[in-house]
Amino acid sequence: MQRFRADGFDEFVAARWSALLHVARLLTGGDRQRAEDLVQESLVKLWFAWPKVAEQAPEAYVRQVLVRLAARSARRRWWGERPVGELPDRPGPGDVSAAVAERSRLEAALALLTPRQRAAVVLRYYEDLPEGQVAQALGCPVGTARSHASRGVARLREILSDSARPVK
């Protein structure tokens, strides 16, 4: 029964684990531990819905769960997320590689957005989803999703204005 129920689940998880983890990391503003927790929780939910969604769109389902869990987890106080004026843990010039420094800068900037703005920006620019699907994942009207994305990008532009130059 269980074997039949989870038929194809392991393959899906193995194939999508890395991508889901990266999305979760962007959604959490670079918090790797929390990202893993979110992916884990989303996949547990997916497992229970697997018989229904396996033939349709499991990735869309798990993405939607992930976005909502990320938004919910960001509201918890104990995650310790708080907006600050200056970007935290800005890497030093020579202590890490350029790619890691750039990623850290991006994640730190994303962490300063609201959870919904962050989710809208990630889904729109990283996942390259159309506005309708972004709105569906966020559970809001298309206009609201568009507004979240544009405000998020404006805020990122502001934050990264001094470091938008590509780091090579």
Q: Which of 74, 119, 121, 137 binds other proteins (CB under 8 A)?
A: 121
**Size of interface with other proteins, in residues (CB under 8 A):** 31
Q: Which of 57, 126, 130, 141 binds other proteins (CB under 8 A)?
A: 126
Instruction: Confirm if 38 and 69 have CB atoms less than 8 A apart.
Output: yes
Q: Which of 84, 128, 162, 168 binds other proteins (CB under 8 A)?
A: 128
> Of the listed pieces 7-15, 52-60, 86-94, 131-139, which binds other proteins according to CB under 8 A?
7-15
Spatial separation of the C-alpha atoms in residues 27 and 79, rounded to whole Å: 14
Instruction: Confirm if 49 and 61 have CB atoms less than 8 A apart.
Output: yes
Question: Is 112 an interacting residue with respect to other proteins (CB under 8 A)?
Answer: no
What DSSP string describes 30-89?
S-HHHHHHHHHHHHHHHHHHHHHHTTS-HHHHHHHHHHHHHHHHHH-GGG-----SS-TT
Interface contacts to other proteins, rule CB under 8 A:
10, 13-14, 17-19, 21-22, 26, 40-41, 43-44, 47-48, 99, 102-103, 106-107, 121-122, 125-126, 128, 153, 156-157, 160, 164, 166
